[in-house]
Amino acid sequence: MFMNQTAFSPKLLLSAVLTTCLLMPAQAEESATADAPSPDHLQGQLPLEELRNFTEIFERIRSSYVEEVDDSTLLEYAIDGMLTSLDPHSAYLQPEDFSDLQENTSGKFGGLGIEVGQQDGLILVVTPIDDTPAQKAGIKAGDLIVSLDGEAVMGMNLNDAVEKMRGEPGTDITLEIRRKNEKELLTFTLTRAEIKVASVRTDRLNGDIGYVRITQFQEKTGAELSEALQTWRDEGQLNGIILDLRNNPGGVLDAAVDVVDSFISQGRIVYTEGRTPSSELSYSATNHTAAGDVPAVVLINGGSASASEIVAGALQDHKRAVIVGTQSFGKGSVQSVLPITQDRAIKLTTARYFTPNGRSIQAQGITPDIWVEQSEVTPYEQRYYKEADLPGHLANPEDQPQADQDAPSETEGQQADANLLKKDFQLYEAHTLLRGVSILGLRQE
């Protein structure tokens, strides 16, 4: 017998399809556990009343919205809203989002160079990436983007906002920003560029202190760091390492594990806990330790998130490094990309990160061992008279001729190090700490 198709309204058809498709998993579970229903089985039942509400709203929009919207678009909107309402990191990934995900982990993409999130309906700058239009223009972590090219972002989907900030290199976009302690909105006009993020940058401060800046955790970050550390150790006279993770938004988990593994030779690095067995993972160190036992300081701030916090938390728990700076961002959740079709997937929060000692990073972050706010180093000049300035003072029997007393002139590299340390108070404090540890170590030998 054939059914008359005109007897079914779109609302009833959608309701039937949703009810049939969504209840199938629950019915399958019921057949397997019919003898002894479990609490898990009861939780599998879907709320029919809410499903009816959904189909009713769907039909109202379909029939009464001011402009016609096709059914597939409405369903995509529903999926997107369902995921973005869970937390700031879950999302519906359409085809173009896959390429964005690959670009971010490979270290090359177009746009402004801002890692963003959402806060109070506005776009939050988690951190500007080094040597990008955003960083050069003066965009800061914690800034709230109010409008993009005059269009208010309040209520705008985060993916849409990111898409609007991206564009052809050489084109301009104007951002209005609300900044803490600023009475008026700040306006920035940025020129888009191809963003190429150098993951690891290294330098030596005053010859014997290694400085490592990790801007983002990418696939080769661990190998690049290990190579730099091994080179320094082969050259000799490495008395300390500064690992700078400030304004590092995170990245590839395996890269963070590799970085920690470069500093410790045993023990747990990080573990995750979730609702499914596949979301429960644990990572441990190997015996390959490129940094050896060289003293280390890790710099963090409010722009240090996710993988950066995993590294800082692990080294802090193992008492392998001193953490210096300010409280980190507090992003301690795991996102899994789950394919739905050939060209669509969902990015779903499936677990939480925990440090080796069982501390959750989520919404709390890492508290530094030594709290240091950022500022410039401004020495206070004051003239003190010394014994040598007094007329008729006794000479020191070990005095050398004046020519021998003249201090050697600073090299260009030493001057550059001094300028860098003067501009960056947190780095200055980290450097001073390691110099102190180095001096004490020499005295104990």
Q: How many CB atoms are located within 10 Å of the residue 59 CB? A: 16
What three-state secondary structure class fits 300? strand
Query: Do residues 144 and 178 touch, judged by C-beta distance below 8 A?
Result: yes
**Residue 360: CB partners within 8 Å, gap ≥ 6?**
332, 352, 353, 354
Q: How far from chain centre, in Å, is Cα 274?
A: 21
Quote the CA–CA distance of 101 and 93 in Å, as a whole number: 9
For the question of residue 331 being annotated catalytic, the response is yes
Gyration radius from the chain CA atoms: 29
Could you tell me how many residues make up the chain? 445
How far, CA to CA in Å, does 155 sit from each of 69, 121, 387?
20, 5, 70
Catalytic site residue 317?
yes
Structure tokens at 384: 């003190």
Rounded alpha-carbon distances, angstroms, from residue 229 to 238, 254, 272, 308: 9, 18, 29, 18
Q: Check 306, 308, 328, 333 and give the catalytic one.
A: 306
Pairing of strands 91-93, 345-354: antiparallel
Q: Which residues, other chains included, contact 286 with Cβ-Cβ below 8 Å and sequence gap of 6+?
A: 261, 265
CA distance 139 to 80: 29
If DSSP codes are grouped into helix, strand and coil, which group holds residue 121?
coil
Choice among 331, 417, 424, 438 that is catalytic: 331
Q: Helix %, strand %, coil % for the chain, to 5?
A: 35, 25, 40
Note if 9 is an active site residue. Answer: no
The backbone torsions φ and ψ at residue 218, rounded to the nearest 5 degrees and listed phi first, read: -115, 175
Residue 437 is inside which H or E element, if any? helix 425-444
Contact 290, 226 (CB under 8 A): yes
Residue of 317, 328, 333, 417 marked active site? 317
Distance, in Å, from the CA atom of 39 to the CA atom of 42, rounded to the nearest integer, reads 5
Task: Find, among 267, 205, 212, the residue nearest to 239 by Cα.
Answer: 205
How far apart, in whole angstroms, are the C-alpha atoms of residue 113 and residue 129?
5
- The structure tokens listed for 164 are 């609007």
Would you name the residues annotated as active-site residues? 306, 317, 331
